[in-house]
Amino acid sequence: MNKVQLGQSDLHVTPICLGTMTFGEQVDEAASHAILDRSLAAGVNFLDTAEMYAVPARAETCGATETIIGNWFAKNPGARQQVVLATKVAGPSRGMPWIREGSGMTAADIAASCEGSLRRLQTDVIDLYQIHWPERHVPAFGAMYYDPSKERSVTSIHEQLEALGRLVQAGKVRYVGLSNETPYGVHEFVRLAEQHGLPRVATVQNPYCLINRSYENALDESCQRLNVSLLAYSPLGFGLLTGKYDASGIEGPEAPQAGRIARYESVRKQRWGRPEALTAARRYNALAREHGLTPTQLALAFCYTKWQVASTIIGVTSVAQLDEDLAAWGTTLSPELLAAIDAIRWELRDPAI
């Protein structure tokens, strides 16, 4: 895998990134370390985590994923220098009061969160520090429409950039990024950074998969023109695009109980648990089989080969899953197959938005 440059930064990463939100909930520390070992040995140099992980979010596991990764760094002294490390500061609590008090995300919150992540990760610097979700109100995590009456913002984008700038100046953060953002948000962060000499965002981490291509509705143009790189998360649609729920559905005794959608009610209540999402996933999975591919190969190859994607974040619960996802690299999709994918999207749109 040739490395790709993230935005205008000097970060060069593999086009596959190991996501870690399963560490500390579905995956214990020993298994997490085995996955990290295998990922590094396979040549993946990019790790993504967040202060609020593991997922589904609980007070008891908040910060657990970063702690597991920090312990792995401590066991493998040379590993930290071999990877680009990305983590995230959580936005407003969104019903998770253990993350932070109040409804906003102040400059002090950003600074305190960074210190906590550095401590748990057992590192002196974070290579890419991302805002996990906007401080202002936006439609995200299953919401579709922007509603200005819900605006409760207390910290301007300019103030957030100033707080991030102080972390960069202190040498605690190298570059900054966004997540779950909108075209307006990406453009405003870049505009203010350039106007005031503050850190310019290098990346945006948003959902992107066969059942949620909302990134292609204007945000891709914004990022292309502004040179902001997409880190695509949930390329397998929380397992819907692996085919494992095709026959059983996502609930009931026949559903794979180890899967996140079947196991966690909080996940089912969001976009991935919608009946329309499963209906669309079944269509794409059937299409994969018609063309001699597994559903996983089709879903990952779609992300791996799209011009919009700089790096695809894969989340796994075992070394075997990791190997399967890595093996999909190099899979090509014919023009006919891509046209068939677009035909399904035209009919069913983005049910997991």
Q: Give tens-digit pLDDT for 40-63.
A: 999 999 999 999 999 999 999 999
Distance CA 193, CA 190 (A): 5
The mean pLDDT value of the chain amounts to 95
Whole-structure pTM value:
0.97
pLDDT exceeds cutoff 90 at 230? yes
pLDDT tens by residue, 320-338:
999 999 999 999 999 999 9
Residue (of 64, 318, 345, 91) closest to 210 by Cα position:
345
Domain 4-247+296-333 has CATH 3.20.20.100: yes
pLDDT at 102 over 80: no
Q: Which two tokens stand for residue 293?
A: 């591919």
* Domain spans in the chain, listed from the N-terminal domain onward: 4-247+296-333
List, for residues 73-93, the tens digit of each pLDDT value: 999 999 999 999 999 999 988
CA quadruple 43, 90, 137, 156: dihedral sign? negative
**Alpha-carbon gap, residue 120 to 50, rounded angstroms:** 11
Catalytic residue among 53, 208, 233, 304: 53
**Is 53 known to be catalytic?**
yes
